[in-house]
């Protein structure tokens, strides 16, 4: 599979690169994508929610009224969950939402996401570049050249270049990541992916090792 290489000004560089079909041309697996995205989102949850049960509330344990003869339902102490200000029955408690997924399945999910982007023409290869200084204006110019202003974009570079990362940090919807840190959610969440040419060898090491 061949794709044209673009300069950062949005124009073609006049050459093409061959993409590895084992990375960009597999048959996507939707269920693997679903599980990996679910895991990524679950890992973002703090899980610090908490509610108090009867034993954790302060208050008298005196029985509010006698058991029989009142003509109404039985009633225990003032901390009962059915009373206003009482405890909560079966409420949430701090916990981790994370779960285990096999490495091979997570790898399949990322490959499937990349394959979808190639099929939908939402992936472009650009020349390697760096900025002399961190400037948001320069990164906005880059996005403008690829018609990505006010759209979600993902830039994949061989390793994190500080000036490029800092330039993109204040741009809404723009994300910069190193090739070895790419994940399924970021791939699918972007309207278009820009992959620096040098990242292709890093992706090859990541997926074909």
Of the candidates 186, 173, 206, 193, the residue with the CA atom closest to the CA atom of residue 40: 186
Residues of the chain with pLDDT under 50: none
Residue span(s) of the chain under CATH 3.40.1370.10 come to: 2-46+100-208
Q: What is the pTM of this model?
A: 0.84
Could you write out the DSSP letters of every residue in 82-99?
A: TSTT---TT---------
CATH fold of 2-46+100-208 reads: Ribosomal Protein L4; Chain: A; (3.40.1370)
pLDDT at 100: 96
Residue 44 contacts residue 178 (beta carbons within 8 Å): no
């Amino acid at each position: 599979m061949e794709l044209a290489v673009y300069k950062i000004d949005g124009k073609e560089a006049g050459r093409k690169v061959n993409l590895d079909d084992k990375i960009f041309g597999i048959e996507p697996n939707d269920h693997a994508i679903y599980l990996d995205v679910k895991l990524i989102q679950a890992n973002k949850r703090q899980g610090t929610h908490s509610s108090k049960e009867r034993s954790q509330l302060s208050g008298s344990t005196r029985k509010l009224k006698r058991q029989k003869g009142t003509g109404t339902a039985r009633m225990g102490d003032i901390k009962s969950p059915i009373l206003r200000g009482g405890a909560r029955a079966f409420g949430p408690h701090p916990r981790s939402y994370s779960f285990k997924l096999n490495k091979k399945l997570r790898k399949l999910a990322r490959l499937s996401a990349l394959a979808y982007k190639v099929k939908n023409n939402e992936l472009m290869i650009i020349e390697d570049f760096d900025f002399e200084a961190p400037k948001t204006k320069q990164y906005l110019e880059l996005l403008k050249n690829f018609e990505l202003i006010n759209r979600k974009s993902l830039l994949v570079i061989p390793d994190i270049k500080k000036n490029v990362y800092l330039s993109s940090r204040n741009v809404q919807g723009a994300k910069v990541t190193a090739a070895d840190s790419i994940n399924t959610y970021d791939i699918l969440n972007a309207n278009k992916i820009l992959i620096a040419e040098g990242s292709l060898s890093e992706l090859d090491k990541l997926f074909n090792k």
